[in-house]
Structure 1
Amino acid sequence: MSYAEAGGLRIWYEEHGTGKPLVLLHGEYGSTETFAPIRPALAARRRLIAVDLQGHGRTADVDRPLRYESMADDVAALLRHLGLPRADVLGYSLGGGVALRTAIQHPGLVRRLVLVSTPFRRHGWYPRTLAAMSAHDERVAQQMRGTPLHERYARVAPRPQDWQALWARGGELLRRDYDWSAEVAALPMPVLLVFADADEIPVSHAAEFFGLLGGGHRDAGGDGTDRPASRLAVLPGLTHYDVLTSPALPAAVLPFLTHPARAPG
């Protein structure tokens, strides 16, 4: 567990387990601790590098807006700092957006990509979810004081008083429109998409996402010859909030990370 000076940011990361590296990127207002329920299963097979993104957890904020693109550059800078020419990357929710931008902006650094409960465009979220995210500001941050989310932040953050500023910056990020469909279709690495069947993102968006990656267009054939390199998992009986705690997640992720690779298409 340590800090690294990477990309102009003093970024906190933790390492667990041994094997090929797997970077873990948490969701909005979260930290490395959100992976604790599935960390033992993943660390039994992989060298985990869990990161606290800008302004989250033990990584203090800096004088720049929160952007998926700049946080992706931070992840790339950390990998170079650690001397890792390539790594697998798993991101959840906000961290999924950062993981996706890392693969788009630094494709040579990402061997395989796992995106959990994250859309490829802003309007992939349900409208009600979008409305709630758009309302994030300092007033909502004040209402969240005393919740487990706030208590975790207050326990580990270098400046606990930044809680309200984090929500203001997070809300500004979440109100920004984006559509990365063209970049997704051009990704060179295999991608695993994981969604809950009662997620904040419709299953129809998951299917569209998979289609951009070459999936869902044809029968794979009896011998699987036409199977796409990327994969889609819709985990039953789960939501956006508990998918990260379910043993079904590492059960889906680990086989994907180890199956023989071939070019997408």
Structure 2
Amino acid sequence: MTTTDLRVDEGYAPVTGGVRAYWRSLGEGGTPLVAVHGGFGVVEAWGGVLERLAASRRVVAVEPQGHGRTADVDRPFTWDALADDVAALVRHLDLGPVDLMGYSLGGGVSLRATIRHPELVRRLVVVAAPCRRGGWLPDVLEGMAGVSSAGFEWMRQSPVYDAYAAVAPDVDAFPALMDKTGDLLRTPYDWSDEVRAITAPVLLAYGDCDSVPPAHAAEFYGLLGGGLRDPGWDGAGRPASRLAVLPGRTHYDVATAPELATVVDGFLTASVR
């Protein structure tokens, strides 16, 4: 499935704090799936995953504040502000209760949106993101400590910057994006108690060589009621939430893996016990 086979729309939504968030819609029908990419990304960063998912539903991909086609504003990045932007986009487009999927930084944003706006989320997919900052591997946390515009010359040589520069309204804003992202990544958080209170079914998806280790994925799943007891021979005790660990995948390719689309589609279409 390619975008030429799908209905495609795009536009900008006034969200919060003066941000006008870029969105792109693929496909039609079903419960809309809103997708939030990772840090420094653009909607194309999902590879072909969104097109696969749009074969049977409408998929709306969004670029958060300062990312891609969405211009930055004079506001720091916070998890709650970015989450509220997603909720405002859902309301602006009148999407109703949606399925929500986020990867890495976008996974944290999507998790916070579900916690803060539960009435807007039917099901949640968190890809390669923890529920507390300490869930990242130690060397990943060490790397986050150095994310800032001081590394701009190195980032300017990367495909990530090329994708940004190809669409950004102000290509000179990338160093500010690095500073704001670094500040966000260094902000302490632990949403464990709030995760326990989530009532929507949640799919957690990781690579088996992710920046979030399988041990934290299991911990996160446990907060959602998973892995705590045997479901019985008939599966009657199976939780509504799911955990997927994709073999041979890392933090850097899990969001574009074709098998991710298969797992997500199965979760979104499954009946809930």
The residue matched to 1:204 in structure 2 has which SS?
A: helix
Q: Secondary structure at the match of 1:156?
A: coil
Report the equivalent of 1:6.
15
Asked if 1:208 is matched to 2:215, the reply is no
1:17 to 2:17 alignment: no
The correspondence for 1:151, drawn from 150, 162, 179, is 162
Distance (whole Å) between structure 1 residues aligned to residue 52 and residue 95 of structure 2: 22
Task: State the match for 1:218 in structure 2.
Answer: 229
- String of CA shifts for 1:107-149, please: whole Å, max 9, x gaps: 0000000000000000100010001011001111221112111
Deviation at 1:250, TM superposition (A): 0.7
CA distance in 1, matches of 2:266, 2:47: 20
Match for 1:82 among 74, 78, 93? Answer: 93
- How much has 1:84 moved relative to structure 2? 1.9
Contact 1:191 1:229 in 2 (8 A): yes
CA contact (8 A) 1:56 1:157 kept: yes
How many Å separate the matches in 2 of 1:135 and 1:142? 14
**Is the counterpart of residue 168 in structure 1 residue 182 in structure 2?**
no
State the alpha-carbon separation in 2 of the partners of residues 85 and 255 from structure 1: 21
For the residues of structure 2 that align with 1:150 and 1:240, how far apart are their CA atoms?
18
Give the corresponding residue for 2:137: 126
Matched, 1:256 2:267: yes
1:142–1:164 Cα contact (<8 Å) kept: no
- Report the Cα distance in structure 1 between the residues aligned to 2:143 and 2:174, rounded to whole angstroms: 18
Give distance in 2, aligned partners of 1:202 and 1:147.
26
Alignment of 1:182-197 (within 5 A): 182-197=193-208
% identity of equivalent residues: 53
| 1:99 counterpart = 2:110 | yes
Q: Which stretch of structure 1 is more off in the superposition, 175-184 or 243-252?
A: 243-252
Q: Whole-Å Cα distance in 2 between the matches of residues 5 and 244 of structure 1?
A: 27
**How far apart are the structure 1 equivalents of 2:173 and 2:180?**
10
**Superposed displacement of residue 261, structure 1:** 2.3
Q: For residues 6 and 212 of structure 1, what CA distance do their matches in structure 2 show?
A: 31
- Whole-Å separation in 2 of the counterparts to 1:68 and 1:240: 20
- Structure 1 residue runs without a partner (length 5+): none
